[in-house]
Amino acid sequence: MRDRLPQLSFVGVAPGSADEDAREFFVDQMEASLIPFYEDYRRMLDREKPDLAVVAPFFFLQSRIACECLERGIHVFVEKPMAVSFEQLERLRRAHAQGRAILCPMLASRYVPSFSAAWRALKDGQVGEPLLITALKSYKLGSRHPMYTHRATYGGTIPWVAIHGIDWIHWFTGGAISEVSGCHTTLGNGGHGEMESSGVCMFRLANSGCASLAFDYFRPGPASTHGEDRVRIAGDKGVLEIAGGEAILFPRDTAPRRLEKEEPLSLFQELIRHLDEGTPLRITAADAFAISELALRCREAADTKSAVAARSTT
C-alpha cells in the first residue's frame, strides 16, 4: 500500500472493544512494522491524532466509533453496515453534519469495472428508461464469528450482504425509489442463531418500474469466488446484464456487445486522492446515508411482512 500511496502512513492499531481479539492479528501481520498497538482506540485517537481512521470493529460498534472520530474532526472510512439501527444512523448523520470530516463507506461496487461500465451505458441512454432491475448477491457461509448469531450485534443479513445490491439499485436509478418490501428467513443458516440465511428485497421505483434483489449465504464451497454478483437491467431500448466480471448490452434491434471496461480502481485510493486533491468520489456521504436507510427499511419490511416508505418523512 505504501508504494501506491507514499503519502500514507499508519500511526496505530486498536480493537473496537475489549472482547475483540485483535492482538493475534496484529502480532502476525503488523508487529514487525513498528506500528504501535493500543488496547483503547480512544487513547490512540487522542494521542496519535490521525487524519483518517479506518473503522471496522464488530458491526454494532461501527456507528459509535465513527461518530467519535467525526466529533474529533477525523475523516472516516467505515465498514458497512454504518449503523444497525435507525437511532444509530441518526446519531451518525448528526455527527457528520456538525463537523467537517469526510465519511466514506466500504461499498466499493461503483469502482468495479463491470459495474461502472454498466452505469455509463445507462447514463448514455443505451437501455432507455430502466423499468425492471433484478439482482443477486450471494456469499459462501462458512463458519462465522458468534457476532453473526445475534441481531443486536450483527444487524441482519440485509444491512450486511444485501446492502451491496441496494447500492447498485440506488446508483442505477439515481435514488428514485419510493417504497420497499421484503422477506427473509433464518432456515438453512448452518446453526448461526438469528442470522438470516437468505431473502428478497423489492423496490417500487419512482418511474412506476420495479426492482428486486435476492441475497443468500448459499454459494457452494467449491465455487471459485467467495461471492457472486449478478444484475439485469431492462428498459424500453434494451437490456444490460452484469455477471462474471463482465457487462453485456443487449440492444433491442442490434446484436449484443460486451461493454468496454476501465482499469480497476480502488475506493480507498480514490478516498486518499479525494482528501489530497478534492477529486470527486463515486459514493458520497449522502449516498451512504440513503443506502444505509434503505437497508434498514428493507429489514423493517422483512421483519414486519409489510411494505414501508423508502425514506423517513420526518
List, for residues 97-119, the tens digit of each pLDDT value.
Answer: 998 999 999 999 999 999 999 99
pLDDT band for 22, please (50, 70, 90 cuts): low
**For a pLDDT cut of 70, what percent of the chain falls above it?**
94
Residues whose CB falls within 8 Å of the CB of residue 131, separated by 6 or more in sequence, listed in order: 205, 207, 208, 209, 210, 234, 235, 236
Question: What are 82-95's pLDDT values in tens digits?
Answer: 999 999 999 999 99
**Residue whose cell numbers read 418523512:** 313
pLDDT band for 10, please (50, 70, 90 cuts): confident
Q: How many residues does the chain have?
A: 314
pLDDT band for 29, please (50, 70, 90 cuts): low
Spatial CA neighbour of 241 closest among 253, 254, 250: 250
pLDDT band for 12, please (50, 70, 90 cuts): confident
**Residue whose cell numbers read 466509533:** 65
Q: Is 131 exposed, middle or buried (0-12, 13-18, 19+ CB in 10 A)?
A: middle
Contact 174, 203 (CB under 8 A): no
Query: What sign results for the dihedral spanned by CA atoms 296, 301, 304, 305?
Result: negative
Question: Which neighbouring-strand residues pair with 210?
Answer: 132, 204
pLDDT band for 7, please (50, 70, 90 cuts): confident
Residue 35 confidence (pLDDT): 82
Is the predicted pLDDT of residue 286 greater than 90, yes or no? yes
Query: Looking at residues 254-267, what average pLDDT do you find?
Result: 93
Is the predicted pLDDT of residue 32 greater than 80, yes or no? no
Is the predicted pLDDT of residue 11 greater than 90, yes or no? no
DSSP class of residue 242 equals E
Query: Looking at residues 273-282, what average pLDDT do you find?
Result: 94
Burial code (b: 16+ CB inside 10 Å, e: under 16) for 132-155 equals ebbbbbbbebeebeebbbebebbb
Is the predicted pLDDT of residue 248 greater than 70, yes or no? yes
Domains, the chain: 23-105 (3.40.50.720), 109-309 (3.30.360.10)
Is the predicted pLDDT of residue 76 greater than 90, yes or no? yes
Contact 188, 199 (CB under 8 A): no
Strands 210-216 and 130-139: parallel
pLDDT, averaged across the chain: 93
Spatial CA neighbour of 44 closest among 1, 15, 18: 15
Spatial CA neighbour of 120 closest among 274, 259, 239: 259
Contact 42, 52 (CB under 8 A): no
Q: 274: how many CB neighbours lie within 10 A of its CB?
A: 15
pLDDT band for 265, please (50, 70, 90 cuts): confident
C-alpha span between 261 and 248 (Å, rounded): 11
More confident residue, 287 or 314: 287
**For a pLDDT cut of 90, what percent of the chain falls above it?**
84
pTM higher than 0.85, yes or no?
Answer: yes
Question: What are 174-186's pLDDT values in tens digits?
Answer: 999 999 999 999 9
Secondary element (H or E) of residue 229 = strand 227-235
Residue 5 confidence (pLDDT): 74
DSSP class of residue 10 equals -
Residue 277 confidence (pLDDT): 93
CA angle 310, 106, 297 (to 5 degrees): 15
As given in the structure block, the three cell numbers for residue 216 are: 443468500
* Helix/strand/coil for 226: coil
Question: What are 173-230's pLDDT values in tens digits?
Answer: 999 999 999 999 999 999 999 999 999 999 999 999 999 999 999 999 999 999 999 9
